[in-house]
Structure 1
Amino acid sequence: MNRLPTCCAPLQHHWPLPRPVPGAVLVSCAFDPARLAADDFQRAGIEQTASLQRSVAKRQAEYLAGRVCAREALRLLDGRDYVPATHEDRSPIWPAGIRGSITHGQGWAAAVVGAQVAGLGLDQESLLTEERAERLAGEILTAAELHRLDRSQQALTVTLTFSLKESLFKALYPITGQRFYFEHAEVLQWSTDGHARLRLLTDLSATWRHGVELDGQFCVQDGHLLSLISV
């Protein structure tokens, strides 16, 4: 049927991040699990798997919103009508020649797709409180990152580091097939204009080795942080 689900607000085709990625398309929408209707999957023309049927409304709504955004992003990219299915590891299955990433949380979902990139990773996080950032810093930041940490910007720095590393994983995992964790990458620097630089601290493949550096970008809006890594 391909209509907008009741739980989703109108889709936005925009680029909130500071630096465009050539040929990439980003679509987002707000969603409300409390407004999820029994026929929303049918209404949207998206398959509701047995696993999703057993899920709580929040999980169903965020999955639905993310897939609706992904389908619209692909339509805008090259005109195709395609909804990414899901691998056993829960990562989206993109069409051949397409890279993409989906993120959702706290009533907002987005998808980015592109054909002129080797990898894309998109992640959205709510800004941590100072207390929570203090508790999580040791789990998310490497020793070098902790040493460089400006305590006056602790909440933003810890949230940003978490998000950038999530985006890095989403960008590189489909390329390398290798899982890695917070201690396997570090944020070397970031600036308030939304630019960041990261370095791998582990070997993932012959190409993606310890010491390889990549650029990232981010923006902060309404208490949420959005980050992107494009390869």
Structure 2
Amino acid sequence: MSSHPLPTCCAPLDDHWPLPQPLATARLISTHFDPALLHAEDFNRSRIPPTKGVAKRQAEFLAGRLCAREALQRLIGSDAIPAVGADRAPQWPAGVTGSITHSNGWAAAIVARREDWRGLGLDVETLMSNARAERLLGEILTAAEQQRFIGLAPEQLGFIVTLSFSLKESLFKALYPLVQQRFYFEHAELLAWSDSGQARLRLLKDLSPEWSHGRELVGQFSLFDGRLLSLVGVPG
């Protein structure tokens, strides 16, 4: 895989597709990381510009940028490392769109040519316990979503709240570069999801003439190792 040395806090980079539906030309790279193994020289040795923060923040940033660099290398043959923009979003090379995510010792990046995918949003979350999901229910689910999922078994609450949270995060990452406007959990709803990992979302806010209230988008998700990974792609 990568020709660059890997820091000891990161496992070998993995070129795989953990989601149910491949996206044409997109490349997804992931790694496991351990903040306890992060060393002061890891950024320099990996040739990644450093970031500030506690060890956890530094390790997840490093792991995410390592995945992004490898994904870009495989897509366009470039060793580019996405800088952090003024809005904190990754700055991708011209003609490329992408997304980075990390949670609880796992990081990943996805990239694609902009002519194929105008926007990409990737998000990973640790599955919530049912008790935590119940506490956060009103912050993440709209009233309509709460009604829609009222018949679910109580033990499914953690899954559905995590799923809605993650897909809305992916939706934001996919659309923000296109609309340059922030929006929040109450501005989108999860309409439907299937056991095969397909999902459908609807905007509840006008973000631009193209991305208006009522516009629907599809997403996908997968479960592994107690994590939920979701992806929303906007075709080119």
TM class by smaller structure? over 0.9
**Structure 2 residue 127 is the aligned partner of structure 1 residue 127:** yes
Structure 1: which 5+ runs fail to align?
A: none
2:117 counterpart SS class: coil
Superposition map of 1:65-104 within 5 A = 65-104=63-102
The TM-score, its normalising length taken from structure 1, stands at 0.97
Equivalent residue for 1:191, pick from 191, 194, 209: 194
Structure-2 separation of matches of 1:86 and 1:2: 21
1:81 counterpart SS class: coil
Aligned to 2:45: 43
Superposition map of 1:149-168 within 5 A = 149=149, 150-152=151-153, 153-168=156-171
| Per-residue CA distance 1:87-133 (angstroms, 9 max, x = gap) | 12211000011000000010000000000101000000000001001
The TM-score, its normalising length taken from structure 2, stands at 0.95
Structure 2: which 5+ runs fail to align?
A: none
**Structure 2 residue 211 is the aligned partner of structure 1 residue 208:** yes
Report the CA distance between 1:158 and its aligned residue: 0.3
Structure-2 separation of matches of 1:47 and 1:63: 10
Structure-1 separation of matches of 2:71 and 2:102: 15
- Bigger shift: 118-127 or 2-11? 2-11
Structure-2 separation of matches of 1:33 and 1:160: 26
Aligned to 1:117: 117
Equivalent residue for 1:18, pick from 20, 35, 40: 20
2:98 counterpart SS class: strand
Structure-1 separation of matches of 2:181 and 2:87: 12
Query: Aligned AA for 1:146?
Result: Q
Tell me the matched-pair count.
227
User: How big is the alpha-carbon RMSD for the aligned residues of Structure 1 and Structure 2?
Assistant: 0.9
| Per-residue CA distance 1:188-207 (angstroms, 9 max, x = gap) | 00011100000000000110
Report the CA distance between 1:5 and its aligned residue: 1.4
Report the CA distance between 1:37 and its aligned residue: 1.1
Structure-2 separation of matches of 1:96 and 1:70: 15
Structure-1 separation of matches of 2:36 and 2:122: 25
Report the CA distance between 1:217 and its aligned residue: 0.0
Report the CA distance between 1:46 and its aligned residue: 0.7
Structure-1 separation of matches of 2:170 and 2:68: 16
Aligned to 1:8: 10
**Structure 2 residue 217 is the aligned partner of structure 1 residue 224:** no
